[in-house]
A and B are shown apart, each in its own frame.
Chain A
């Protein structure tokens, strides 16, 4: 984990390991602990935690991992998830509840229910997806407080 000082914010950086399903979600647990230390309300903690957890799982399932950055700003918490995965061909489709391109193997593990992106949208105040086929995806989310 890396932290950089910005005049107005703290930034936490995590590498999300793409090889290990059992460690997926660790960054979100760590962020929750940090937000607890900063005294954020249960509601804000939960929204950030779920959005980040879903994003982490997505990166592990689809993109062999990536990076997660959480920036605690003056009135919002920003989450930036970046991967070098296959990219999302049809964002509208991917945003539909229940739509998933996860393999049967992954579904057998209990993932790939097609709720990842919809939940991320649902729990955040702002979400932007930048994706390029074969290059990767960066998702920026914001939770206002």
Chain B
């Protein structure tokens, strides 16, 4: 796991060591050490929550840039449907597609097209009475990471379909090779325009288990600013969208789930809500459900940390854009799911919380952790650099920090010290704070 490549990272020069990201990280992956945030590679799920909340803009998503286009003879853009929701007053998706062609791409293959195909396969999969229900969507990589870390029994519930972006990459590559027989596979550069860092990590770590399908991942934000320069009302688009309501619906919460049509579904967003839903499914306490769509970001993919617009404003714009589109013009023929649209292997359980390989040692450590917890104030203030007192106790036992980092206990000790010593000594001790006795 140490080789896991993360998109979410820290700009050390901007980090003030405040506790904002520490407190908001859903997997407790952040610690403050020596006045700077440190992200645990093992725990981080690249959800991007810390990027959204950092008041100093010290958290960032690492992704590829437009300069990488030059490496390829033939460049294909795979715009996520969330991209369309970024533009104010846009009334025709054709502007975005023409814009992408104008800024240097040779072809544009909409991920929304592949999303409609995935929706059709999902409906086929749900019709099989033998699959473990509820079936969980495989679209959000942050959710996939959390399932593989914490929910071994839910791994089989995840639909074994490739997510739309992988299917789009396959289709786009195939189309390019068919239309341009002079091209070799290496001449083609496939660029995914992604709303979130989780998708960047998904691609960079080869999570699909496939041969490299996507070469680079660019942020929706970067694409937005590039496109603004060329998207002018007078530049009438020379291309049109080929996706329908279903495909574009995938950009926000519920779009994917409603595309199961007659199946009973649940659609949730926000990482904390998603974790609660997963817990309840794990406890077999949600019945009568066929399909579960979980989005780590509020609002769904439009809420990704690499977007520009507010997720709900983007959603309203998409609502307008898709109003006059056909429901789902992209439907696969046949009534079986082709092998090459499936994942090569099921999601695997990768536990990362184990304290020690040896059970007796782990028991002793856990006992000591609980003991320390009882001595800690329980304020979960974060000043020690850990998100909660329990996490702090765990860090102490793992040898990652020291008990005297607890500022609440140290303050109490300091007050005791002041009481016990002469006033002069107290004043001396408080000098650095410019303390004035009243």
Contacts and interface: CB of A to CB of B under 8 A. Distances in A.
Do A and B bind?
Answer: yes
Interface stretch (B54-62, B227-235, B364-372): B364-372
Given A37-B353, A38-B355, A25 B367 contact: no
A28 interface: yes
Contacts of B370: 1, 3, 10, 12
Contacts of B355: 37-39
Nearest to A34: B366
Interface stretch (B12-20, B73-81, B112-120, B281-289): B281-289
Contact of A36 (B351, B357, B363, B367): B351
Given A3-B367, A10-B366, A10-B370, A38 B283 contact: no
B419 interface: no
A72 B364 CA distance: 12
B155 to A, nearest CB: 9
A129 to B, nearest CB: 21
A28 B351 contact: no
Interface residues of B, number: 26
Interface of A: prevailing SS: helix
Tell me if B's interface is mostly helix, strand, loop or mixed.
helix
Contacts of B374: 2-3
Chain A interface category by residue count:
20 to 34
Contacts of A25: 279-280, 283, 285
Contacts of A10: 363, 366-367, 370
A83 B355 CA distance: 33
Contacts of B359: 38-39
Contacts of B284: 50, 119
A39 B283 contact: no
Contacts of A42: 152-153, 349
Nearest to A42: B152
Contacts of A54: 283
Contacts of B424: none
Contacts of A131: none
Interface string B268-286: 0000000000011011110
12 contacts: A2-B374, A10-B370, A12-B370, A25-B283, A28-B283, A36-B353, A36-B354, A39-B355, A39-B356, A46-B152, A54-B283, A113-B287
